[in-house]
């Protein structure tokens, strides 16, 4: 017996027909945007989506505009059939997998340029990244017309950028975040973990350990600057190749953190392990 897979649509007209049918039946719709190569973190988003809405649509689209020319677009892992089997197990109702030409037809010339939460951190090291992410998410929201969309805290700045875009542009949907799903040793699940050699995989949890160290020091009233330096040293000593940033930020604006004002804080980091760039973040 063939393994069960979730139905897939690749053309906007088919997606719209499906969504219109569901709407006529009073269904509510949740969207989970992904780039595929799905793991338990993504499946957690789908399960949450199914709790919040009667239908869950998962988009599988490796969005070229959020990768810089030197980044890993061409080697980004892809496994559409495997993804559709996993999604059947998680209760998804439909996969939306447009081709690049369907998403960006010839003559495409409109882009969202997010500022605010998009400035600094990933925005500094990947200057066009959030423009690509915001534009494709805006398009996904217009295509799917979901009541809610679910994002992972794993990409905390992305979540903040999308929440800000939805607020700023009065987009008619609610954005929901889900906590990061981790391996037992603390490593955040990521499609990019597939790039790690066994040696690198053993080193990788040091990033999360270091972030938890910063959070503990700052929560106890210690110096964020010193804690960040210590964390950076620890990560490099563990075997990471270089650190792009380890920062303490306001969890809502992603601007400077002011612990005395009782604001929520977040510790965010990106670091290279060989040729693989890992990101992670923890709450203060």
Among 59, 135, 143, 191, binds ligand AMP (CB under 6 A): 191
Does the footprint of ligand AMP cover residue 276 (CB under 6 A)? Answer: no
The distance in angstroms from the start CA to the end CA of the chain is 49
Cα–Cα distances in Å, from 8 out to 64, 97, 104? 21, 7, 19
To which H or E segment does residue 142 belong? helix 129-144
Which residue in the shown chain puts its C-beta closest to ligand AMP? Answer: 152
Residue 148, beta-bridge partner list:
30, 174
Q: Which residues have C-beta within 8 Å of that of residue 17, sequence separation ≥ 6?
A: none
- Least spacing, CB of residue 178 vs ligand AMP, in Å: 6
Q: Which residue of 157, 190, 193, 208 would you call a contact of ligand AMP, by CB under 6 A?
A: 190
154 belongs to the binding site for ligand AMP (CB under 6 A): yes
189 binds ligand AMP (CB under 6 A): yes
Cβ closer to ligand AMP: 178 or 224? 178
Q: Is 35 in the site for ligand AMP (CB under 6 A)?
A: yes
**Binder among 118, 178, 267, 271 for ligand AMP (CB under 6 A):** 178
Question: HEC string of 45-114?
Answer: HHHHHHHHCCEEEEEECCCHHHCCCCCCCCCCCCCHHHHHHHHHHHCCCEEECCCHHHHCCCCCCCCCCC
Count of residues near ligand AMP by CB under 6 A: 17
Our finding on whether 181 is near ligand AMP (CB under 6 A) is yes
What residues pair up with 267 in beta bridges, in sequence order?
A: 248, 282
CA dihedral 3→63→140→109, nearest 10 degrees, is: -150
Residue 277 in contact with ligand AMP, rule: CB under 6 A: no
Tell me if residue 42 is catalytic: yes
Two structure tokens written together for 262: 């009782």
| Stretch of residues binding ligand AMP (CB under 6 A), selected from 149-157, 164-172, 207-215, 216-224 | 149-157
Q: Which of 39, 42, 70, 81 is catalytic?
A: 42
| Ramachandran sector of residue 178 (left: φ over 0; alpha: ψ -120 to 50; beta: rest) | beta
Determine if 45 is a binding residue for ligand AMP (CB under 6 A).
yes
In the complex with ligand AMP, which residue's Cβ is closer, 212 or 236?
Answer: 212
41 binds ligand AMP (CB under 6 A): yes
- How many residues are recorded in the chain? 284
Residue selected from 9, 30, 49, 188 as contacting ligand AMP according to rule CB under 6 A: 188
Helix (H, G, I), strand (E, B) or coil at 19: helix
Q: Return the number of the residue (67 or 257) whose C-beta is nearest ligand AMP.
A: 67
Residues with a known catalytic role: 42
Q: Which residues bind ligand AMP (CB under 6 A)?
A: 34-35, 41-42, 44-45, 151-152, 154-155, 178, 180-181, 188-191
């Amino acid at each position: 017996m063939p393994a069960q897979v979730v139905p897939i649509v690749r053309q906007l007209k088919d997606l719209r027909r499906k969504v219109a049918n569901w709407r006529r039946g009073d269904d509510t719709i949740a969207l989970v945007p992904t780039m595929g190569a799905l793991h338990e973190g993504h499946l957690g988003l789908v399960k949450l989506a199914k709790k919040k809405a009667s239908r869950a649509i998962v988009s599988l689209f490796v969005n070229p505009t959020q990768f810089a020319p030197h980044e890993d677009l061409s080697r980004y892992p892809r496994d559409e059939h495997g993804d559709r089997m996993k999604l059947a197990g998680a209760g998804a109702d439909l996969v939306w997998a447009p081709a690049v030409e369907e998403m960006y037809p010839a003559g495409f010339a409109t882009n969202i340029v997010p500022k605010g939460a998009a400035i600094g951190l990933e925005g500094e090291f990947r200057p066009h990244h959030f423009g690509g992410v915001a534009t494709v998410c805006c398009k996904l929201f217009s295509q799917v017309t979901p009541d809610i969309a679910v994002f992972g805290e794993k990409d905390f700045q992305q979540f903040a950028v999308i929440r800000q875009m939805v607020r700023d542009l009065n987009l008619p949907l609610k954005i929901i975040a889900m906590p990061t799903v981790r391996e037992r040793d603390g490593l955040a699940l990521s499609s990019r973990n597939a790039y790690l050699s066994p040696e690198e995989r053993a080193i990788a949890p040091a990033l999360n350990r270091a972030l938890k160290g910063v959070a503990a020091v700052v929560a106890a009233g210690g110096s964020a600057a010193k804690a960040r330096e210590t964390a950076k040293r620890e990560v490099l000593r563990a075997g990471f190749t270089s650190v792009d940033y380890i920062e303490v930020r306001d969890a809502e604006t992603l601007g400077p953190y002011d612990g005395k004002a009782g604001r929520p804080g977040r510790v965010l980091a990106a670091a290279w392990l060989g040729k693989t760039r890992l990101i992670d973040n923890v709450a203060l």
